[in-house]
Structure 1
């Protein structure tokens, strides 16, 4: 018996179901915007919805929670339909971006609120809340009100409150967005441990690729209301299929048609690749694979050579990232010393080279 199932059994609540998980097609029409996304997850899965602002991530989460009605589609959890069921009756726990803790209640009573609403006595609900706070490492803060808690502590109280009702579906809306960088690092690791112990389905909404990669077993990328790619974090990082995903994982991405080791791009010149393929493909290479020259290089060591212009420069970690336009729009990373020696500035003409061995092509 898992720890969560054991706790549910010991405190009188029903054990976490081990049913079919989540099966949903979420269609929501709101004015000119239309969300049409299919989500499936097995019990124990952590799924991240990733996408740019306005893509439909939060709309999907609100539809799962019952806060927005479906225009079409279906929503089933462990084989049971949730359509038409009011939010408070759904076996769903939600951790909101700003946590939404009750400011007048202590941490203990915030966590006890859920079990109390589900029929537990005051003593039972507070006993369950005490156990959840201990599990979250917050036992000494049980009597503190939200204004006395740090961001990381408030996030864990909100998570404990959501889990205390033993939900079959846990929804997390940008759960780390309100934290500073240092706290975020610690809380991300703690949250990953808690999600690993969760036996039902968890759906995480985020625009942060690191949160998605660390916390989720599977990513579903949404752009303009539709799913554009899904898979494991590793697969998506290695094989991006849209410019948005390529930007997130730090790759230059180009679609084209492959003929052996040559890929003729849909927009731009040809690229010589390491792989030998035929038909529609994507080609990627990291900005670190790009070498810049002020004069056209001689010799044939670089099969890929393009005349470009510097469109912009920005600090990227301990390097300089150059955005280039011209024959092939791309980004290139170089050291501060190299940028200074090349005399780079917006408008400067450069030659960009990439070795075929540093490219990666895969079927579209």
Structure 2
């Protein structure tokens, strides 16, 4: 799916224009969302950030206490959920267990007043698009996780919604099925002509499926942009961990960013002045048991290994000392260095492998 051109919120004569304000005792949600028809927006954030509350507010299941919600120029505040042109795919799919796949999909059109035969004909077309024609008469209990997810998606799309909401749409799937279903969902979203908003905590789902990411923490938007922009310039520790980067904030002076008043100075290739972030990936870190001599790396820190874990086909080492950081290395390299919790190491990072940008 090719990322579409971003549309400014102030020019959304069609599409979604929302300012979601929800007060729930100690929790306060204040999130602005804008998207044009054809856009896919992913809401990302840690547990308790407010993602699901925002999704429920869009669906009309949670009432706004402030702000506004407009879809294609029509005010939806106060419109009951069943009257909104909104389709929802819930995390657990919530298929009707007593209905076949065909009748599950036909349910929406039937609620819109479409005659039974016509609704079932429409449902059959949607199941064919999902590659589920052979399972049209199967009850949900006879469907695999991936098949159930596609039936739920077909049921949501059969009402031809102007806003499609997906709540952790791949969370219930095993890793192998997830890969296959993610690819199929990407194709269906690419063909969807209205606005789609998906909630997920999985960065890969968000990066693959969405044109734009909106990161929410503590009920507020902390960063938004294309997947590439978010991955390249994270602005909080949560986002840095999400995209797998070491991130530091400090004061830049030329080619150096000083982290904290007494913290280390990190050498960079960018030249900046003032508040700045500096980031680098774990695979940019090289570890040594003895202080290296003759190294061209301008960043050198003495650290202690505080943890080791398998990360794909590599070992990820958590380090603490002059700086706290993570480093990726091969299993062989970890063995040769005799890494273990408590081991003292020297960490080096070349300035050319860091990336500094204004805070």
Q: Are positions 1:302 and 2:294 aligned together?
A: no
Question: Counterpart of 2:196 in 1: which secondary structure?
Answer: strand
Structure 2 gaps of 5+ residues are 1-11
User: Cα deviations across residues 249-297 of structure 1 (Å, max 9, x unaligned)?
Assistant: 1110001111111111137210010111111111011111111111212
Superposition map of 1:312-327 within 5 A: 312-327=307-322
Match of 1:94 in 2: 88
User: Cα deviations across residues 201-229 of structure 1 (Å, max 9, x unaligned)?
Assistant: 00000000000000000000001110000
Superposition map of 1:15-54 within 5 A: 20-54=14-48
Match of 1:275 in 2: 270
Superposition map of 1:1-364 within 5 A: 20-266=14-260, 268-299=263-294, 301-364=296-359
Give the TM-score, by structure 1 length: 0.94
Counterpart CA distance in 2 for 1:263 and 1:103 is 58
User: Cα deviations across residues 37-62 of structure 1 (Å, max 9, x unaligned)?
Assistant: 00000000000001111111000000
Question: Do the aligned partners of 1:46 and 1:215 also contact (CA within 8 Å) in 2?
Answer: yes
Counterpart CA distance in 2 for 1:71 and 1:266 is 40
Distance apart, 1:20 and its partner CA: 1.4
User: Cα deviations across residues 131-163 of structure 1 (Å, max 9, x unaligned)?
Assistant: 111111111111100001111111111011000
Counterpart CA distance in 2 for 1:132 and 1:342 is 57
* Backbone CA RMSD of aligned residues: 1.1
Question: Do the aligned partners of 1:19 and 1:43 also contact (CA within 8 Å) in 2?
Answer: no
Question: Counterpart of 2:304 in 1: which secondary structure?
Answer: strand
Distance apart, 1:124 and its partner CA: 1.4
Greater alpha carbon shift after TM alignment, 250-259 vs 333-342:
333-342
Counterpart CA distance in 2 for 1:103 and 1:300 is 65
Structure 1 gaps of 5+ residues are 1-17
| Change beyond 3 A, Cα 1:185–1:300 | closer
Question: Counterpart of 1:179 in 2: which secondary structure?
Answer: coil
Counterpart CA distance in 2 for 1:60 and 1:190 is 26
Runs of 4+ displaced beyond 3 Å: none
Counterpart CA distance in 2 for 1:317 and 1:96 is 30
Question: Counterpart of 1:178 in 2: which secondary structure?
Answer: coil
Question: Counterpart of 1:44 in 2: which secondary structure?
Answer: coil
